[in-house]
Amino acid sequence: MPLLLAIAVSALQPASLARAAERPGPPNVLILLADDLGYADLSIQGSREIATPHIDSIGRDGVRFTNGYVASSMCSPSRAALLTGRYPQRFGHEFNPPRVTHPEAGLPLSETTLADRLKARGYATVALGKWHLGSLPGQHPNRRGFDHFYGFLKGKRPYTPSAATGEARAMMRNGERVPETFAYLTDELGREAADQIARHRDEPFLLYVSFSAVHTPLQAKPSVLAGVPRELPEPRRKLVAMTRSLDDAVGAILGALDANGLRDRTLVVFLSDNGAAERNASSNAPLRGQKWELFEGGVRVPFLARWPGVLPRGAVYEPAVSSLDIVPTALAAAGVEAPAPGLLDGVDLVPHVTAHGAAPPHPNLHWRQGPAWAIRSGPWKLVSTDGSDRLLFDLASDHAEQHDVAAQHPERVAQLAARHEAWARTLAEPSWPFQTLRPQDE
């Protein structure tokens, strides 16, 4: 266990567990999901260009997971994993849905979401922002466990609609299209989230806020952009301004928790759906790769969690964790009986973070995207970009994946490849084909 975490846990654990036991009722669960956010583009992650004090506060008051992963480097399967706690490849959700409507393109109806499980426990359940898990009637958020939905069903949207260009956001409240507003989209989602917190302050709630920021199009608020140094390249200036607006929206949401007396009664998780994208001027430095790829830059993301009195304050947790862990962590916090053994691929992170000397949460983490695949086991990561090559990295000394050491460790390569093959035999075939083009609206 890292020294910082050991100190935080040893000083806090007895009091924190006692306070958790005294809490009236189950905690609220607040999930804040950014879109295409770069690993290096928060000040808590080391950025000197982008100040993100509100997002940073989640890590300062809770835990920063330095090896936080998502289950896919694509938007839609990453979201499917987050909301089910299961590898999306297990149920055929391996790729983004194709542009042409496909009858099976979306989260299968056979899968149970976190909203389904918490709603059965008596939670109010709200989803805001980008859905991207299917647009057919049966795939609508209101049919997947969410009492309330305000957002859009598919990929990107303009941040400010324009009558001159014909750009429209096509926002929906539950099943109905709502009139266009000209508020900046990130601000609007922050205000809506704050309003939902106030509405549900007297009952436990799940609030899933799926921002479109900082996905393209690169559209910044003029007032925020004016404060970004002009010496930065123009695409980067807009990205910086968009990220600052994202931080402001997170600040509004966290402020609503405080204003309604819910800070200590809410588990907050912040992460990105995948790594930085090629065209949005974001940065994964020093990680290799980007969105769509299985190198660290595609699947390793900013990952922060806060639960006052339960999770240690200001801790840095180094063992690998996954977005797959959010569902079992939330269910355990809510007192929901765990599903049948083996059904979920994640684990409850609280015992791992708070118990001194606890084993790492995952002996292995896996990825598959068509012929490309990867496996991480301890510090070792084996990557195949096309199904035939084998690149081995020791992330303990080379987290930027610059030095392929497969030739020096053939036995390790064979061992990890065998583990991947055993895992792959448990998966379903993709339910729809991979879209070979990489459209920026996904």
**Does the residue 431 lie in any domain?**
no
Does residue 206 sit in the same domain as residue 246? yes
The two three-digit tokens of residue 87, written as one number:
């590898």
Does residue 308 sit in the same domain as residue 373? no
| Active-site entry in 54, 75, 352, 366 | 75
Tell me how crowded residue 334 is: count the other CB atoms within 10 A of its CB.
21
Helix, strand, coil shares of the chain, percent, nearest 5, are 35, 15, 50
Q: How confident is the model at residue 47 (pLDDT cuts 50, 70, 90)?
A: very high
Does 132 participate in catalysis according to the annotation?
A: yes
Domain that residue 242 falls in:
3-354
pLDDT at 102: 67
Give the pTM.
0.93
Does residue 67 sit in the same domain as residue 107? yes
209-222 average pLDDT score: 96
Does residue 211 sit in the same domain as residue 258? yes
Q: What is the pLDDT of residues 263-311, one digit of tens each?
A: 999 999 999 999 999 899 999 999 999 999 999 999 999 999 999 999 9
**Does the residue 359 lie in any domain?**
no
**Does the residue 23 lie in any domain?**
yes
Q: What is the pLDDT of residues 364-398, one digit of tens each?
A: 999 999 999 999 999 999 999 999 999 999 999 99
Does residue 223 sit in the same domain as residue 171? yes
**Total of domains in the chain:** 2
The single-letter code of the amino acid at 118 is L
pLDDT at 373: 98
Q: How confident is the model at residue 170 (pLDDT cuts 50, 70, 90)?
A: confident
Q: Which residue, among 352, 359, 309, has the nearest Cα to 329 in the 3D structure?
A: 352
Residue 437 has pLDDT above 70, yes or no: no
pLDDT at 418: 98
| Active-site entry in 54, 132, 200, 420 | 132
**Does the residue 408 lie in any domain?**
yes
Does residue 347 sit in the same domain as residue 369? no
Residue 149 has pLDDT above 90, yes or no: yes
Q: E-assigned strands of 194-345?
A: 205-210, 266-272, 303-306, 315-317, 321-322
Alpha-carbon span 322 to 78, nearest angstrom? 11
Q: What is the CATH number of the domain that holds 333?
A: 3.40.720.10
Does 200 participate in catalysis according to the annotation?
A: no
**Does the residue 429 lie in any domain?**
no
Q: How confident is the model at residue 103 (pLDDT cuts 50, 70, 90)?
A: low
The single-letter code of the amino acid at 92 is G
Collapsed DSSP state (helix, strand, coil) of residue 369: strand
245-266 average pLDDT score: 98
**Does the residue 98 lie in any domain?**
yes
DSSP 293-310: S-SHHHHB--EEEE-TTT
